[in-house]
Structure 1
Amino acid sequence: MPPHAGAQLDDFVTVEQVLIGHSRIPFFGGSCAWSICRPSQLPPGRTSQGGSGDGGGSTRFGRQRASGARNSASRNIKNLPKGLTLGCSLSSVTGVVRDSVVDGSGRQREALRHFLRSRRARLSPDDVGLLATGRRHTPGLRREEVAVLAGVSASWYTWLEQGRDIKVSDGVLDAISHALRLDDTERVHLYRLAGTNPPQLTSRGAAPREAARLQPVVDGWLPAPAFVVDRYWNVLAANSNAQSLLGVPSHGQNYLTSFFTDPSARARFPDWDDMATRLVGQFRVQGARFPGDGYFDMLAEELCCVDEAFADLWARHETCNAARTRVRVRVTDQKGARYEHLILSLLENSDLRLMLYMPMLHIQEAGLDLVAS
């Protein structure tokens, strides 16, 4: 029989001083649950530990309303069967909370250790051109063999795989990536687990098959406009309304160049100046993501030579990283359309971006009859 069987569920309260700032607390770990009773409900001469005492220490917790994590913990406690109580000291509860808080860097090192072990286990000596010697109790390469392939000491690689807090250079990570035969995605993942900035991958461009797969995607967005561009804003796919309403050029041509050099663009977009500022800022930010790619500067120089507006905006070093904007399009002299423009990166190839235009509601503005087309 629990020592406080007479206590009611409404008398259970959370430990306010302990729960602040902790959102995940294992109140129901194993076969027991943590709860605190009102001191008024304790039998005479008993503390919340179930022993004798003066009622101080861990019993001095008033009923308080809390928010966030404290409300969650309070709800858990109220789900206890009626009359069930397990007394505990404040130090015991504090220990549970402390053990439940996972250190972020430690979790990252644990992930690094697991990743390196899994990639080492999937390779055999034959896969990397080594001669298999001796009996192997576990599948995959030995740590010493990975160290030899990467050109580092066996001790150092062992420390890295064990998740020790050591510094590692980009050159060593590249060598380990090559030794473990990591692909581009795995290589970036290794850099992030090691706490360093991942390398910028060389543009793969879009193969004809990849571009062909994108065309049904944008066609499926009809009747709203949609198109896909690469990192340089070269058009890879566009539906018919993107070309007719937005003036998106045909496959292989550059959207940025068309926007600044096509005279009809200024008439098509009532807010051309704002759009121009935004596009140049987005192109500037995109180029900064690939500092080793000189084609961005080459394209900017060409546009500066042919369009004064672009040259002025480029000289102002405009920046913009908005993924959602509103665009007004003039369809005729009296009618126009308004769209919500979304820019989505494709996970399969982060160089590619999908431009989706969502029609907005009918609205009258600036003398134009704006409708969702």
Structure 2
Amino acid sequence: MDSDNRLGAFLRARRELVCPADFGMSGGGQRRVAGLRREEVAMLAGVSADYYVRLEQGRDKHPSEQVVAALARVFALDEEGATHLRELARPVVRRRRAPQRPEKVSPGLLALMQAWPQTPALVLGRHLDVLAANPLAAAVNSCSVPGVNQVRMMFLDPEARVVYPDWAMHAAETVASLRASAGDLDDPRLTELVGELSLKSDDFRRLWARHDIRGKIAGTKRFLNPLVGELTLSYETFSVNGAPGQLLIAYHAAPGSESERGLALLGSMVATGDPALRKSPAPSLD
């Protein structure tokens, strides 16, 4: 996971994603590398080519704020990406890591989620494990069941590509969210998870190599549900005070929409214990 040269790995990944044409440079057949050449990045950032090469190779790991800002501009990083770049460039004194305790959801939060019969809600841990979900969340999405790791599910469970009609978009978001939420790349659990998925999924390996980082905040997802069809739901995320790394995610449908009616139907089925809620085959996208 490039633990010895994280800054260089990030710079190299982002350089390869830049389109030369965005800076008026030819992208023709003379190029043997994807994206920009090192000397081109150096020129655009206003630093020497030798200095930029030292950054990528890890021979210099602490560029100034001015250089970091210039590189963030060249790579068109958003605020979260630029913050990540600054953190990579900042000297860090590593302390001995205390063993991480199993992540648990507080009884009060569990009770609150159970009291939302019309609001799908779940809690994710720092590695995007589903730590808790209310019955409506599980009814909406069979991949949001306590004990499921959403990253592993997204890339290794074929059902995920049916549940999420926009799978490619959500897969990229999931990988970027894992980088943002896990924080410590030396975490043994993260190393194990990334290693497993890199071996088993070409898609995961490609997306992880991009070094995208983006925390879950808010957005919209489409789900294909075997009982009520397609649901388009918006979601909001909330950090759980007193439980670092935990996120509460709550979904809602637009008022008066077909999705609101579908969500209400699922809610009534949950309330009555409808046997149809037992594991149903995923519907076809055809």
How high is the TM-score relative to the length of structure 2? Answer: 0.52
Are residue 330 (structure 1) and residue 238 (structure 2) matched?
no
Residue 218 of structure 1 is matched in structure 2 by 113
CA contact 1:336–1:371 (8 Å) conserved in 2: no
Task: Output one character per residue of 1:220-241: Cα deviation in whole Å (capped at 9) or x when no partner.
Answer: 2222211112111222211112
Q: SS of 1:341's equivalent?
A: strand
Distance, in Å, in 2 between the alignment partners of 1:212 and 1:250 is 18
Question: Residues 70-85 of structure 1: matches in 2 within 5 Å?
Answer: none
Are the structure 2 counterparts of residues 214 and 313 from structure 1 closer, same or farther at C-alpha, using a change threshold of 3 Å? same
Task: Output one character per residue of 1:258-286: Cα deviation in whole Å (capped at 9) or x when no partner.
Answer: 22222222111221111111111010122
Distance, in Å, in 1 between the alignment partners of 2:131 and 2:157 is 19
User: How far has the Cα of 1:212 moved from its partner?
Assistant: 4.2
User: How far has the Cα of 1:354 moved from its partner?
Assistant: 0.8
Question: Residues 267-286 of structure 1: matches in 2 within 5 Å?
Answer: 267-286=162-181
In structure 2, the gaps of 5 or more residues are: 1-90, 264-286
Distance, in Å, in 1 between the alignment partners of 2:187 and 2:223 is 33
Distance, in Å, in 2 between the alignment partners of 1:279 and 1:297 is 16
Distance, in Å, in 1 between the alignment partners of 2:167 and 2:108 is 31
Q: CA RMSD for the aligned pairs?
A: 2.9
Are residue 204 (structure 1) and residue 101 (structure 2) matched?
yes
Are residue 265 (structure 1) and residue 147 (structure 2) matched?
no
Residue 68 of structure 1 is matched in structure 2 by none
Are the structure 2 counterparts of residues 265 and 282 from structure 1 closer, same or farther at C-alpha, using a change threshold of 3 Å? same
CA contact 2:181–2:245 (8 Å) conserved in 1: no
Distance, in Å, in 1 between the alignment partners of 2:213 and 2:170 is 12
Which of 215, 235, 246 is the matching residue for 1:321? Answer: 215
Residue 245 of structure 1 is matched in structure 2 by 140
Distance, in Å, in 1 between the alignment partners of 2:157 and 2:115 is 27
Distance, in Å, in 2 between the alignment partners of 1:316 and 1:333 is 37
User: How far has the Cα of 1:299 moved from its partner?
Assistant: 0.7
Are the structure 2 counterparts of residues 335 and 253 from structure 1 closer, same or farther at C-alpha, using a change threshold of 3 Å? closer
Which of 177, 181, 204 is the matching residue for 1:310? Answer: 204
CA contact 1:215–1:237 (8 Å) conserved in 2: yes
Q: Which amino acid aligns with 1:346?
A: V
Distance, in Å, in 2 between the alignment partners of 1:355 and 1:240 is 14
Are the structure 2 counterparts of residues 219 and 326 from structure 1 closer, same or farther at C-alpha, using a change threshold of 3 Å? same
Task: Output one character per residue of 1:161-190: Cα deviation in whole Å (capped at 9) or x when no partner.
Answer: xxxxxxxxxxxxxxxxxxxxxxxxxxxxxx
Are the structure 2 counterparts of residues 219 and 297 from structure 1 closer, same or farther at C-alpha, using a change threshold of 3 Å? same
Are residue 349 (structure 1) and residue 246 (structure 2) matched?
no
Task: Output one character per residue of 1:104-157: Cα deviation in whole Å (capped at 9) or x when no partner.
Answer: xxxxxxxxxxxxxxxxxxxxxxxxxxxxxxxxxxxxxxxxxxxxxxxxxxxxxx
Q: SS of 1:290's equivalent?
A: coil
Are the structure 2 counterparts of residues 215 and 240 from structure 1 closer, same or farther at C-alpha, using a change threshold of 3 Å? same
Distance, in Å, in 2 between the alignment partners of 1:197 and 1:344 is 28
In structure 1, the gaps of 5 or more residues are: 1-195, 364-368
CA contact 2:233–2:259 (8 Å) conserved in 1: no
How high is the TM-score relative to the length of structure 1? Answer: 0.41
Aligned length: 170
Are residue 339 (structure 1) and residue 233 (structure 2) matched?
yes
